[in-house]
Structures are given as structure tokens and as C-alpha cells.
């Protein structure tokens, strides 16, 4: 398997530190509101990466944090007149609901920044003792120029950063030794949550949080660090600097970053009125559709969200679900149990689609091409699985579609729904009306069921139904 490493700007063979195991850290959301669809992309992308690695036989230790102390959380708490902890806990719970709806698996550990502050204080003290950090009136700064490799991830030169304008500079007070130095610890302001530390009563800077949580749950050197490309600079750059200076080891071997998500070809922004939460999308679509949309492009390619593209994603996902349903129907009604001679030969074709799928995923997790392999299998299913097929053949095809889809987190084997007795009775009445050649009544019942969101399909194999 090859992964594109942001650090080296090339695809590299993935070789974990410990054979058969993967340590992976993904930066999670800051929890001051419902997550938006921009947050959803790294969640879905790296969940799929984890699933594929587990499919390949790796034991994956997957850590993704919640940033539960931040200026935005504090501002929200002050606005509502409640403790900051109440805000963060509320939105952590809501985030977990959205993750479940997108079929994003819970991390091995979801650490909270506020619960790991003693470790952060210890790390900061180590940096001070080694001469990489300094205290000015209770604020602790990292000496950026002291780390010779600063800029190696973002491929930015320190001198260019110094002269390149304010947008690239790490902001801070005039008390810094160097404008590029960044905050590790800052004193509290009135009304803010705070923790006691040797330098002042205050709270940690954002960057040190991930360094400590990664170290505690994965070790001083990890296999993969991932997140959105907006985190490359300064967040991930600063993580590298403070972690490697503190621990004296390479922080992460592979850096993975997903590209931005645009809305109707424009950057998502509240001011532009094109800002959508996952919850809002879930009111219009099954969030499986959102997951399909997110994986329909390579994770390093910019992705454009629009109503038309979501409708296309919905239709595409339904094609897979329908193929599975057709297989299930044949399984239930098949006259022949065992594989025929001709089917045994066709079964071998199925393996080709899995090989194509794996080839795509082994090439830097190319989910777009992996989905194409699934659709080739769906086409095969629609052509080869019919009323003459054996039960064993239909089961083999169905299981293969479901298996490959599951690796990407697509739930395509929809469990049979239990219709309430009223709907069941109407379907029976319609069947009786058709048998009695009362087609007007049969049509009335069809329309009545349609009004209830039940679509009937008369097929050679009998009546099928689905939700509208």
C-alpha cells in the first residue's frame, strides 16, 4: 500500500513502525456548535482509511480528539451564561450522533483536551528546560528558530515567513523574542476556565494539546498523523516542532491531509450563506448519501458540494442497494440451491472486481476508483443474477457487493422493514383486487400507499415495495 506523504510530497510504501499495527492520530473538531460538512470530510475519509487498514489485517490504534477548551467555546458559554464545560459536553454528544449517522466508527480513544492538561504542563516544562521555550509574564512561547527543521511540513522558509506578511505570521504580543514564536501556555482572562501551572493560572495553547494527546495514547513516534489541509500550517507544523524538540524523535512518519470542500464552487462561509451543518443535510438526505458523496472523489482532490451532486450520489448509492435487494429476492425465491457448472466459472469473475478495488485503495486510498470497481460488480450482478440463478450464486454476488461496500462504510444491505399492519393489509387488499380483476380498486390502493410513502413494483417475481 502506498500513501501520499505531505512531508515528502510523494507517494511512499506504507511501512508501520510495528509490524501488523498502525498508530494513527486525526485532529478532531472544536466543539462549540454542530459539526459542519467541512468537518465531515476528514471524519469520513480517515474512517475509510482505518477500515481499509483493518481489512488488510492491521490492528489500528485510532485516536481522534475533541478540542473542548477554546476561545470559541468560551465565547459561546459567555453568550449563553453557562460554564464552558456544559457547551463542550453538549456538542460532543451531538457530534457523536452525527458521526454514528454517517457510519463513522468511534475512535479507539476520543481524548478531551481538558482532561490531559497535566501532561501538557509537563511537556511545556520539558521544552523550557531544554531551552526551546520561555516564560514572559506567565505566557510561555516556543522558540521557533531554535528548531532547525521548522517549515519542513508546510515547505515554508522561516525567513520567508518573517517577511511574507502578517497572514503567515503566528500572531501574538510584542513581548515575544521573535514574531514567529507561538504560544504554549497563556494566562487566564476574566470569566475563562483556568488551570494552575508553574508560570500562571491559565490554559494551554491549541497546538500543544494534540502533541500531548498523541504522545499519551500512541507514543512519542507514530505512524500516521492526519487532518484537513487547512491544518498543515501552523497547527501541524507547530506540533512537529514542539513534539520533536520535547521527545527527540520523529513525531509522525506519514502526514495525510484531505483537500477543501467547496459549496457550489465557492468556499463555505456563513457570510456567503452557504454554510451547512451535517444535521441540516441529514434532514434532506440519508447521511449514507453524504458519505458516498465524500468518497466519490480522491481525498486529496478539492470536492464541490451541490444539490445536483447530492442527488446524483443518492441515485448512485441506490443502484448498489437495489442490486443487493435483487440478489436477496433471488435468494428467497431460487428453485436451485447449489452452484451450476456455468455459475462456478462466473464466480471467478467476482474476484477480479475485488482485485480492482484493492488496487485502487492500495494507491493512496483512491476511493473514487474503488467505487468504480463496486459499480462494475453491480453491473455484473444486474446482468447475471436473475430468476434462473441458484441461491448459492445470488448469495455469493450479494456478499461480495456488501463486503466491498462495507470497507468504505456504505450500508447497502438494508434490513427488511416491518410494515405496520395497516399498510400490510392494504397490500393484501390490492393483491385481492387484482386477482378479482378490479383494477380500479387496485390503482386506488396503489395511490393510497404512495401517499404514505410506499412505492409498489409489480415484477415477474411478485410485488416488491420500497420507501419513496
Q: Does the pLDDT of residue 413 top 50, yes or no?
A: yes
User: Does an H or E element contain 53, and which?
Assistant: helix 37-55
Q: What is the pLDDT of the chain when averaged over all its residues? A: 92
Pairing relationship of beta strands 182-187 and 133-136 according to DSSP bridges: unpaired
pLDDT band with cut points at 50, 70 and 90 for residue 162 = low
Q: Does the pLDDT of residue 461 top 80, yes or no?
A: no
- Contacts of residue 125, defined as CB under 8 A and 6 or more positions apart, other chains included, come to 198
Tell me what pLDDT residue 424 has: 78
Q: What percent of the chain has pLDDT over 70?
A: 94
User: Which residue bears the cell 481524548?
Assistant: 111
Tell me what pLDDT residue 169 has: 41
SS3 category, 135: strand
Angstrom distance (rounded) from CA 162 to CA 372: 46
Q: Does the pLDDT of residue 36 top 70, yes or no?
A: yes
- Contacts of residue 126, defined as CB under 8 A and 6 or more positions apart, other chains included, come to 246
pLDDT tens, position by position, 382-403: 999 999 999 999 999 999 999 9
User: Concatenated DSSP letters for 222-284?
Assistant: EEEEEEEGGGIIIIIHHHHHHHHHHHSS-SEEEEEEEPPEEETTEE--TTTT---BHHHHHHH
The average pLDDT across 312-321 equals 96
pLDDT tens, position by position, 251-304: 999 999 999 999 988 887 766 777 899 999 999 999 999 999 999 999 999 999
User: In 10 A of CB 466, how many CB atoms?
Assistant: 15
Q: What percent of the chain has pLDDT over 90?
A: 79
Angstrom distance (rounded) from CA 7 to CA 223: 13
Tell me what pLDDT residue 159 has: 79
Name the grid cell of 45. 475519509
Tell me what pLDDT residue 325 has: 94
Distance set, CA 53 to CA 1, 16, 306, 378 (Å): 9, 11, 31, 24
pLDDT band with cut points at 50, 70 and 90 for residue 155 = very high
Tell me what pLDDT residue 447 has: 83
User: In 10 A of CB 355, how many CB atoms?
Assistant: 11
pLDDT tens, position by position, 201-249: 999 999 999 999 999 999 999 999 999 999 999 999 999 999 999 999 9
pLDDT tens, position by position, 364-383: 999 999 999 999 999 999 99
Q: Does the pLDDT of residue 172 top 50, yes or no?
A: no
Q: Does the pLDDT of residue 171 top 50, yes or no?
A: no
pLDDT band with cut points at 50, 70 and 90 for residue 416 = low
Q: Does the pLDDT of residue 164 top 60, yes or no?
A: no
Angle, in degrees to the nearest 10, between helices 421-435 and 439-451: 160
Name the grid cell of 344. 462456478
The average pLDDT across 400-421 equals 85
Angstrom distance (rounded) from CA 91 to CA 106: 15
Tell me what pLDDT residue 467 has: 65
Tell me what pLDDT residue 138 has: 96
Say which residue, 309 or 463, is predicted with more confidence: 309
Q: Does the pLDDT of residue 439 top 90, yes or no?
A: no
DSSP 348: H
Nearest residue to 305 via CA among 284, 321, 328, 330 = 284
DSSP bridge pairs for 25:
63, 225
pLDDT band with cut points at 50, 70 and 90 for residue 443 = confident
> Is the Cβ–Cβ distance between 260 and 302 less than 8 Å?
yes
pLDDT band with cut points at 50, 70 and 90 for residue 422 = confident
Tell me what pLDDT residue 165 has: 40
SS3 category, 415: coil
Amino acid at each position: 500500500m502506498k500513501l501520499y506523504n505531505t512531508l515528502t510530497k510523494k507517494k511512499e510504501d506504507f511501512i508501520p513502525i510495528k509490524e501488523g499495527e498502525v498508530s494513527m492520530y486525526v485532529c478532531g473538531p472544536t466543539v462549540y456548535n454542530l459539526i459542519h460538512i467541512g468537518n465531515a470530510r476528514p471524519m469520513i475519509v480517515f474512517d475509510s482509511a482505518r477500515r481499509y487498514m483493518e481489512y488488510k489485517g492491521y490492528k489500528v490504534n485510532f485516536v481522534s480528539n475533541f478540542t473542548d477548551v477554546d476561545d470559541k467555546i468560551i465565547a459561546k458559554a459567555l453568550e449563553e451564561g453557562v460554564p464552558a464545560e456544559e457547551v463542550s459536553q453538549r456538542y460532543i454528544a451531538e457530534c457523536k450522533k452525527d458521526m454514528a449517522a454517517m457510519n463513522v466508527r468511534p475512535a479507539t480513544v476520543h481524548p478531551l483536551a481538558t482532561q490531559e492538561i497535566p501532561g501538557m504542563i509537563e511537556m511545556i516544562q520539558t521544552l523550557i528546560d531544554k531551552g526551546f521555550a520561555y516564560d514572559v509574564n506567565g505566557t510561555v512561547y516556543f522558540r521557533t528558530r531554535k528548531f532547525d527543521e521548522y517549515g519542513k511540513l508546510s515547505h515554508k522558509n522561516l525567513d520567508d515567513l518573517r517577511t511574507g506578511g502578517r497572514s503567515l505570521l503566528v500572531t501574538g504580543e510584542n513581548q515575544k523574542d521573535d514574531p514567529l514564536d507561538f504560544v504554549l501556555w497563556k494566562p487566564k482572562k476574566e470569566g475563562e476556565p483556568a488551570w494552575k501551572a508553574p508560570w500562571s493560572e491559565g490554559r494551554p495553547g491549541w497546538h500543544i494539546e494534540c502533541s500531548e494527546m498523541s504522545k499519551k495514547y500512541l507514543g512519542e513516534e507514530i505512524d500516521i498523523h492526519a487532518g484537513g489541509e487547512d491544518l498543515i500550517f501552523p497547527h501541524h507544523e507547530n506540533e512537529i516542532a514542539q513534539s520533536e524538540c520535547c521527545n527527540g524523535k520523529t513525531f509522525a512518519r506519514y502526514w495525510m491531509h484531505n483537500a477543501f470542500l467547496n459549496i457550489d464552487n465557492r468556499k463555505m462561509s456563513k457570510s456567503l450563506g452557504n454554510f451547512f451543518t451535517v444535521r441540516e443535510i441529514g434532514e434532506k438526505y440519508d447521511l449514507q448519501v453524504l458519505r458516498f458523496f465524500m468518497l466519490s472523489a480522491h481525498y486529496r482532490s478539492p470536492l464541490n458540494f451541490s444539490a445536483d451532486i447530492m442527488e446524483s450520489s443518492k441515485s448512485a448509492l441506490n443502484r448498489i442497494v437495489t442490486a443487493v435487494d435483487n440478489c436477496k429476492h433471488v435468494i428467497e425465491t431460487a428453485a436451485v440451491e447449489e452452484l451450476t457448472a456455468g455459475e462456478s466459472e462466473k464466480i471467478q469473475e467476482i474476484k477480479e472486481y475485488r482485485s480492482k478495488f484493492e488496487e485502487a485503495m492500495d494507491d493512496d486510498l483512491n476511493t473514487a476508483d474503488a467505487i468504480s470497481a463496486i459499480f462494475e460488480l453491480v453491473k455484473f450482478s444486474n446482468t447475471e443474477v436473475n430468476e434462473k440463478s441458484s441461491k448459492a450464486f445470488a448469495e455469493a454476488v450479494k456478499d461480495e457487493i456488501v463486503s466491498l461496500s462495507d470497507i468504505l462504510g456504505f450500508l447497502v444491505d438494508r434490513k427488511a422493514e416491518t410494515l405496520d399492519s395497516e399498510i400490510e393489509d392494504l397490500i393484501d387488499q390490492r393483491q385481492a383486487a387484482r386477482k378479482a380483476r378490479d383494477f380500479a380498486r387496485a390503482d386506488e390502493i396503489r395511490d393510497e400507499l404512495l401517499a404514505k410513502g410506499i412505492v409498489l413494483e409489480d415484477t415477474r417475481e411478485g410485488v416488491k415495495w420500497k420507501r419513496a
